[in-house]
Structures are given as structure tokens and as C-alpha cells.
């Protein structure tokens, strides 16, 4: 097995199990249970001005690779000849919602793993506020169901 696929497999496994914290639950929550968190629904409470700033920054710096409205590359699951994967969608249709806010921000600032990604580092180019704005804009694209699952995994602990 080529080393890049082994690295991808290991990275995928680490990301899969990084959400495990050993806490005991009575069983998996259903989507309706997740949507009923916090008095009946998961509230996003995003600032519309921050969403607009995030959209503007994304379209200036990120849309060239991730596409308008963060739709990504159609074949994002298939590695290029160099073994790196094309830019994925960030609109909730790929794996972006499997990551915490901290991981999303770190990926923007530090770039993707060079063995499997061509994602550049934006540290020193984008401000922390711009990165926060982009992350909020990305989350605003996710469906209510995707956002609720993300919220359950990362924000309600």
C-alpha cells in the first residue's frame, strides 16, 4: 500500500476517534433529539455582518479553489496524480462538519497535511478575525440537520 494512502487511512482514523471522550450516554441520539437540544432547537445566533464579512473574504481568497458558495471540486474524493486530494466542498456536503471550530481554524491558518492536501497556510495573510468570519460563513451554509449534528459533537460539551 503506498505511504500516502496509509497516511490518509491513519489520519481518517484519528479524526474519526478524536470525537470520542469516554463519556457515557444512554445510546446514540436521534436527529430529532439533537434538533431538540436547547429549548426545542439548535440556535445558530450568527451575526449577519460577520457572515457577510466571511463571504467576502472567502470569495476573495478561497473560492478560486473551493468554488463559489464552497461547492468544492466535483471529484474531491479522488486523489490527483501527485496523491493530493482536490479541494472539498465546505458547504456541509463533505467532511467539514466533522471538525471542531478549532480544527477548521487551524487548517485555514496552517494549511492541510502536505502529503494529502494542497491547502495553503493563510497565517500571516488573513487575520484571526477574517478566519473566524470565514468559519462562521461556512457554518451558515450547512443545513439545519448538519449543523445540529456538528453542534452535538463539538459545541454542547
| CA–CA dist 148, 143 (Å, integer) | 8
| CA–CA dist 118, 113 (Å, integer) | 8
pLDDT for the residue 43: 81
Residue scoring higher pLDDT (144 or 43): 144
pLDDT tens-place string over residues 78-126 = 999 999 999 999 999 998 999 999 999 999 999 999 999 999 999 999 9
| CA–CA dist 143, 26 (Å, integer) | 26
| CA–CA dist 113, 4 (Å, integer) | 11
Q: Is the dihedral of CA 83, 66, 19, 144 positive or negative?
A: negative
pLDDT tens-place string over residues 36-83 = 544 446 788 899 999 999 999 999 999 999 999 999 999 999 999 999
Domain boundaries, given as residue ranges, for the chain? 29-154
CATH classification of 29-154 is 1.10.760.10, yes or no? yes
Amino acid at each position: 500500500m503506498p505511504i500516502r494512502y496509509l497516511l490518509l487511512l491513519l489520519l481518517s482514523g484519528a479524526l474519526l476517534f478524536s470525537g470520542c471522550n469516554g463519556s457515557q450516554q444512554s445510546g446514540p441520539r436521534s436527529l430529532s433529539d439533537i434538533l431538540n437540544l436547547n429549548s426545542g432547537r439548535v440556535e445558530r445566533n450568527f451575526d449577519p455582518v460577520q457572515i457577510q464579512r466571511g463571504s467576502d473574504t472567502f470569495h476573495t481568497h478561497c473560492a478560486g479553489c473551493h468554488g463559489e458558495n464552497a461547492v468544492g471540486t466535483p471529484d474531491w474524493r479522488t486523489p490527483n496524480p501527485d496523491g493530493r486530494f482536490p479541494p472539498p466542498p465546505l458547504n456541509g456536503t463533505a467532511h467539514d462538519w466533522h471538525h471542531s471550530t478549532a480544527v477548521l481554524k487551524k487548517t485555514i491558518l496552517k494549511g492541510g497535511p502536505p502529503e494529502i492536501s494542497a491547502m495553503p497556510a493563510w497565517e500571516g495573510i488573513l487575520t484571526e478575525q477574517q478566519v473566524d468570519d470565514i468559519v462562521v460563513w461556512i457554518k451558515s451554509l450547512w443545513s439545519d440537520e448538519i449543523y445540529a449534528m456538528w453542534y452535538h459533537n463539538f459545541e454542547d460539551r
